[in-house]
Amino acid sequence: MKEAPLSSCERAFILGALAEKRRLDGRQAYDYRELRIGFGVDRGGCHVQIGETRVLAQVSCEVLVPRQTRPNEGMLYINLELSPMACPTFEPGKLSEVGVEVNRALERCVRDSSCIDLESLCIVSGEKVWQIRVDVHVLNHEGNIMDTACIAAITALAHFRRPDVTVCGEDVTIHTAEEKSLVPLTVNHMPLSVTFSFFEQGFV
C-alpha cells in the first residue's frame, strides 16, 4: 500500500510546536518512552516494547561449514523482517529501502562491533561451526524501530543458550538439553543505539 503523504498543515504544526520546544505527546527533547522487555518460554526469545513500537527477536543455532576465509570463526546472521502487520506500507517479502537501511545498521551494531565472540562458536576448525541466526520481527511501528530492534537483538543473544558439544578426536557429539545443560554465548559487551532527529538543518 502507498504511504499517505504528510499534509502541509500537519508538517507546519509539528515544526511550529518543535520551535516552541513542544512534542506531540508532551515529552521533552531528550525524554525516552517507556521501555518494556519480556522473555518467551524458549531460550533466546525476547519481546521489546518502546512506547507502542513492538519488536520480537528469536535466536536459533545450527551447525554448518564455516566460511573459507574464516575457518576458525562461527557465523552470526541477522534477519530483520518488517512485518506487514507493523505498518500498512510494509510489503511482505523483499525489504524496502528503509528496511535495508535498518538491517544494515543492525548488522553493523551487533556483528561488526564484535559483541559476540565468534571464535568461541568453533567446533572443528574448517569443518563445523555454529551459525547463530537472529530473526527480528517488527510487530508494531510507532517510530524508532532502530533502537527497539537493537535492544531486542542484543537481549535475545544474551538470553540464548546453545547446546553443549564434546569433541573426542574425530567424534563430535552435540548433547541435548537433557544430557548436558545448555551453554550461554560469550557476550563481550552490549551495544545500544540511540536515535536523534534533526530539524531545520540542526537549528532545532
Q: Taking CB under 8 A as the rule, does residue 139 contact another protein? A: yes
CB under 8 A: which stretch of 97-105, 134-142, 159-167, 177-185 binds another protein?
134-142
**CA-wise closest residue to 135 among 60, 192, 41:** 60
CB of 1 to another protein, least distance (A): 5
Q: By CB under 8 A, name the one of 131, 140, 144, 193 that touches another protein.
A: 140
CB of 122 to another protein, least distance (A): 22
Of 100 and 204, which CB lies nearer to another protein in the complex structure?
A: 100
Using alpha carbons only, give the angle 73, 167, 174 rounded to the nearest 5 degrees.
Answer: 85
Which amino acid appears at position 93 of this protein?
G
CB of 26 to another protein, least distance (A): 17
* Beta strands per DSSP E along the chain: 35-39, 45-50, 53-64, 75-82, 122-124, 128-140, 161-162, 165-168, 171-174, 183-184
Which amino acid appears at position 5 of this protein?
P
Of 45 and 66, which CB lies nearer to another protein in the complex structure?
A: 45
**Number of shown-chain residues binding another protein (CB under 8 A):** 29
Task: List residues bridging with 182 in a β-sheet.
Answer: none
Q: Residue 26 carries which DSSP code? A: S
Of 46 and 150, which CB lies nearer to another protein in the complex structure?
A: 46
Using alpha carbons only, give the angle 67, 107, 131 rounded to the nearest 5 degrees.
Answer: 35
**CA-wise closest residue to 39 among 49, 31, 30, 29:** 49
Q: Taking CB under 8 A as the rule, does residue 98 contact another protein? A: no
CB of 133 to another protein, least distance (A): 7
Query: Rule CB under 8 A: which residues touch another protein?
Result: 1-2, 40-42, 45, 47, 52, 54, 56, 58-60, 79, 81, 83-88, 92, 133, 135, 137, 139-142
